[in-house]
Chain A
Amino acid sequence: MEFHDNYPEYEKMSNHDEAYGKKARRTLWNVFWIMLVITIVELIIGFMAPSKGWSGTLGLKVLFIGLTIVKAAAIVLWFMHLGHEVKFFKYVVLLPYAIFMLYTIFIVLTEGTYSGEKEHYTQTRQIPLEDQLAHKKAHGGGHHGGGESHGESSHEGDAHH
C-alpha cells in the first residue's frame, strides 16, 4: 500500500561529491590511454603482418582476439560501470551472455567442420588465378600491387579450374 514511499531512490545513489569525482575521472582517463595504446599496437601489428608472414597464423589470431577481449572488458567494467554494481547484478548480466556465446561458438566449431568440403557446398564460380593476375597487370596492376603479393602462394590447390 505504502510501497513506493519507502522505496530507495536508486537513481540518486550514484551521485557523488567533487573529491570522489576527481578520483573517478583519473581512472577513466587511464582506461582510455590503455585502450588507445592497445588499438595502436593492434594497427601496427596488422600493418606489419603481411610482410613478416604473420597473416592468418593462429598466434596472430589469438593475440588480436585476446587484446579485443581486454578492451571489451575495460569498456564494460569501467565505462559501463558494471565493475561497481552489486555482484548479483554483474552475474545476471554477464553469465547468460557468456553461456549463450560459448555455446554458439562451440556449435560452430564442432558442427561447422563439414563446411570444409568445398566441392559440395561452394556455389561461387572461381576464375583461374592466372587470368585474374593477367587482367590486373594489363590494367595497371591492381590496387598498388596489393593483389599480387598475396594469393599465389595461398591458393595452389584450387579445385575449380
Chain B
Amino acid sequence: MGQSVEIDTKEAWGGGQSPFRVSYGKMMMWFFLISDALTFGGLLTAYGFARHKYADQWPKAEDVFTHFPFVEQHLPLAYVGLMTFILIMSSVTMVLAVEAGHRMDKRGVTVWMFWTIIGGATFVGSQAWEWYHFIHGTDVGSLRDVFDRETGTYVRQVVHGANMTVNEYGNYDVPQFANFFFFITGFHGTHVFSGVVINFIIFMNVLKGTYEKRGHYEMVEKVGLYWHFVDLVWVFVFTFFYLL
C-alpha cells in the first residue's frame, strides 16, 4: 500500500520509470474510469436540467418507489435503501479481496471475491425487480392524454405503469421522469452486470492460481477499481433519483 520506492532523480531522467509510479494497466483503468465518469456526469446533469424544467410537476420518489418484496405494506424508499446497502457492502468485500491480494493470500481473495459477486448479482436482481414494478405500475393508475397514431389525436385514458412515452407517476404528465429513470439506472445496471461478469472471470483465474504464479494480484485490484466506480456512480444515482 503506497510503499513507493525512492527514485534517484538522475536515474529518473534516464527513462524507464513511471512518473505516476503505477503500472500501465492500472493507469489505463483509471483513464477509462474518468471517461466513463464523464458520461455519467453528463447524463446526471441532463437529468438535473429536465428536473429543474419540470420542478413543479416532477413525481416524488417516495410516492413511486413504495414496494418491498414479500411485504404488502407501503414502505417508501426502504427497498432502494437495502439495494444501496448491498452495493456498498459488496464494495467493502471487494476492497478486502484487494487487500488480501496484497498479502498474496489466495484463500482471502477467493472468499471476498465470492461475496462480491454474490452482492453484485443480488443488486442486479433487485434492480430487475424494481424495474418490473415500475413498468407494471399500480392498479389505480393515472389519467393521461395519450397520442393515438391512427387518428393523430390525444385520447384521455387511464395509464398504468410506465413506458418511454407515458407514465402514471405523479399528478402531471412528465414522460421525462420514466425516460431518465430507464436510461440512467439502466446504464448503471449494465455496468453492474458487466462488473459481475468481469469479477467472475477474475475469480476463476484466482481459483486456477494464475495470479499466484504471476507473483501479484494486480488484476484483482484493477477489476476492484471498476467495481468501486460502479458503487460510486450508484451513490450519485441514489441521491438524485431517490432522495432529492
Contacts and interface: CB of A to CB of B under 8 A. Distances in A.
Interface of A: 3, 6-18, 20-21, 24-25, 28-29, 32, 35-36, 39-40, 42-43, 45-47, 50, 55-56, 60-61, 64-65, 67-68, 71-72, 75-76, 78-81, 84-86, 88-89, 92-93, 96-97, 100-101, 104-105, 108, 112, 115-116, 118, 121, 124-127, 129, 131-133, 135-136, 139-144, 146-147, 150-151, 154-155, 158
Given A39-B81, A39-B88, A147-B63, A133 B216 contact: no
Interface of B: 1-5, 15-23, 25-27, 30, 34, 37-38, 41-42, 45, 48-49, 52-53, 55-57, 60, 62-63, 66, 74, 76-77, 81, 84-85, 88-89, 91-92, 94-96, 98-100, 102-104, 138-145, 154, 156, 158, 170-175, 215-216, 218, 221, 224-225, 228-229, 231-232, 235-236, 238-239, 242-244
A55 B231 CA distance: 26
Contacts of A96: 34
Given A50-B62, A80-B228, A135 B142 contact: yes
A112 to B, nearest CB: 5
Contacts of B104: 15
Contacts of B17: 7-8
A47 B77 contact: yes
A3 B94 CA distance: 35
B99 A25 contact: yes
A146 B62 contact: yes
Contact of A141 (B1, B92, B140): B140
In order of increasing CB-CB distance, the 9 nearest A-B pairs are A84-B2, A146-B63, A89-B20, A144-B74, A10-B23, A11-B218, A68-B239, A125-B145, A151-B171
Contact of B235 (A47, A71, A142): A71
Majority-rule SS of A interface residues: helix
